[in-house]
Chain A
Amino acid sequence: MGLRARLDLLMPQVAKGEDDAFAQLYDAVAPAVFGLARRVLRQAEQAEEVAQEVLLEVWQQASSFDAARGSALAWIMTMTHRRSVDRVRSVQAASYRELRVGSRSQDRPHDQVSEAVEQHMEAEAVRDCVDELTAIQRESVTMAYFDGYTYPEVAARLKTPLGTIKTRMRDGLIRLRDCLGVTA
């Protein structure tokens, strides 16, 4: 069973306050939450804080989760991304950005598959779809999603007009959506 389906099955039990179901949900989704926060924030301590906040919010707000409005995975990852990006853009942003840029050279290259990913067949399928994007589509989507840049920042970094980036982001996501067969 895919992660998306698994989380959707667990959510009603979590909403009823079942600790055990939450522990299962934690084990299923925590690597995605921590992994995304770490990608955006770089620092493990910051990522841990975000992951803790998000996972506790999942527990707290479980009963307000509405499956009709999307999957639990999307709900949880949207929260994770939002919070990570908010931190990156917070008060310390200036100095923090420098730190992030400075550490970019240590980043995993795009095509290097981490061990965790290798174990994850779903991730492989996603990667195949990412590889089908044009370079600029891929860059604009991943710089926004994994680096937390706004689209004007992406445009500046790629030395590409704003309008083009806006469109490429859109084209890239739509292509990914179709490739992955994602439906709302």
Chain B
Amino acid sequence: MTSDMHALAAAYSLDALDAAESAEFEQHLAACDTCSLDVREMRETAAVLALTSLEEPPAALRDAVLARVRLTSQGSPDSDAAAVVDLAERRTRRGPATRWLTGVAAAAVLVAGGLGVTTYQASQRADQAQLASDQITALLADPEATVERADVTGGGAGTLVASPSRSQAAFLAASLPVTGPDETYQLWAIDDQGATSVGLLQPDSGQAIALVDLPPGTTTFGMSVEPAGGSPAPTTDPVLLVELSA
């Protein structure tokens, strides 16, 4: 039995065992030092084999990974090494799992907060609404504008239409969950310095359209649920993140 198991070290190292056999081998592995060494050496060998199959990934992948790295905290050594980093799942988790960078941007938030966004509300002055509406129409009609769509954690979806210069964007949200009386949606422009508030969003029956001014260097657009009145920097995990294409 033992020698039979031992013979499976290679197949195990190549992930060529089915789940049942793999589990059986792992049990054996725990008590077999020779096998552990074998597996380690074979894993090293297999890894080098991968060098014969190099392929440059799309540039968008680099942007997406590095943007998320800036927003994601590292696990402690104790955390589950096998934990799946499922982005959708991560976004629903609350607490310190997401590190919104602060720093220089935090100061800028106080200036920028509330200035950059125009939402459609009945109370809004008609001429302002008209101006924003015209700008949004122009954005939507611009063939050079980029369109990115993302689901909102908890329900609904958002679409970001960014101007060719990425200095302005229209954010359209649909079917957003209603926030509590003490909460608001807050929009953020994120760059390598951190997150800058670009305004609050008050959906009317779950729908909202906002015109947002994006500071230069913005790489990602985000939305979080914040205490009413907004926060100088995000205090919860984003419910939506949209990478701006370069």
B-binding residues in A (CB < 8 A)? 3-4, 15, 17, 19, 22-23, 26-27, 30-36, 38-39, 44, 47-48, 51-53, 55-57, 59-64, 69-71, 73-74, 76-78, 80-82, 85, 114, 116-117, 120, 122-123, 126-127, 130, 141-142, 144-146, 148-152, 154, 166-167, 169-170, 172-174, 176-177, 180, 182-184
Does residue B110 face the partner (Cβ distance < 8 Å to A)? Answer: no
Residues of chain B within 8 A of A31, CB atoms compared: 54-57
Q: Are A71 and B54 in contact (CB under 8 A)?
A: no
- Tell me if B42 is interfacial: C-beta within 8 Å of chain A: yes
What is the distance, in angstroms, from B56's C-beta to the closest C-beta of chain A? 5
Is the pair B44, A184 in contact by a Cβ cutoff of 8 Å?
A: yes
Q: Is B1 an interface residue (CB 8 A)?
A: no
Given contact pairs A145-B46, A173-B42, A60 touches B65 in the complex (Cβ within 8 A): no
Report the nearest B residue to A172, measured CB to CB.
B10
Given A35-B50, A51-B57, A51-B61, also A22-B69 (CB < 8 A): yes
Partner of B74, one of A39, A62, A85: A62
Can you name the residue of chain A whose Cβ is closest to the Cβ of B42?
A173
Of the A-B pairs whose beta carbons lie under 8 Å apart in the complex, a sample of 6, sorted by A's number, is: A19-B69, A27-B62, A73-B44, A81-B15, A141-B49, A177-B42
Contact, CB under 8 Å: B69 / A59: yes
Instruction: Tell me which residues from 7 to 33 in chain B have a Cβ below 8 Å from any Cβ of chain A.
Output: 7-11, 13-18
Bound complex: CA A39 to CA B69 (Å): 26
Contact of A116 among B48, B55, B69, B76 (CB under 8 A): B55
Q: What is the CA–CA distance of A182 and B7 in the complex, to the nearest angstrom?
A: 20
* A10–chain B nearest beta-carbon distance, Å: 14
The residue on A at minimum CB distance from B101 is: A19
Decide if B159 is an interface residue (CB 8 Å cutoff).
Answer: no
- Does B131 belong to the interface (CB within 8 Å)? no
Contact A148 B7 (CB under 8 A): no
Docked complex Cα distance between A126 and B45 (Å): 10
Q: Is the CB of B17 within 8 A of A177?
A: no
Q: What A residues does B75 contact at CB under 8 A? A: 60-61, 63-64
Partner of B51, one of A30, A59, A123: A123
User: For residue A38, which residue of chain B has the nearest CB?
Assistant: B55
Count of A-B contacts judged by CB separation below 8 Å: 209
Residues B45 and A173 in contact, CB atoms below 8 Å apart: yes
Q: Which of A70, A85, A167 has the most CB of B within 10 A?
A: A70
- Residues from chain A with a CB closer than 8 A to the CB of B15 are 81-82, 85, 144, 148
Question: CB-defined interface of B70-90 with A at 8 Å, one 1/0 digit per residue?
Answer: 101111111101011111000
Write the nearest CB–CB distance from B211 to chain A, whole angstroms: 31
In the assembled complex, how far is the CB of residue A100 from the closest CB belonging to chain B, in whole angstroms? Answer: 16
CB of B84 within 8 A of CB of A70, answer no
**Inside 8 A of A59's CB, which chain B residues have their CB?**
69, 72, 74
B41 within 8 A of A: yes
Once A19-B69, A167-B7, A173-B45 are accepted as A-B contacts, the answer to whether A144 and B54 lie under 8 Å apart by CB is no
Is B66 part of the contact surface with A, judged by Cβ < 8 Å?
Answer: yes
Residue of B nearest to A179 (CB): B45
Q: Please, which residue of chain B has its CB at the minimum distance from the CB of A176?
A: B45
Q: Are A32 and B50 in contact (CB under 8 A)?
A: yes
Provide the residues of chain B in CB contact with A182, threshold 8 Å. Answer: 41, 44-45, 48
Cα–Cα distance between A44 and B57 once the two chains are bound (Å): 9
- A77-B50, A130-B49 are contacts. A61–B69 as well, Cβ < 8 Å? no
Contact A154 B16, beta carbon cutoff 8 Å: yes
B124 → chain A closest CB, angstroms: 40
Q: Is the CB of B50 within 8 A of A69?
A: no
Q: Say yes or no: is B94 at the interface (Cβ < 8 Å to chain A).
A: no
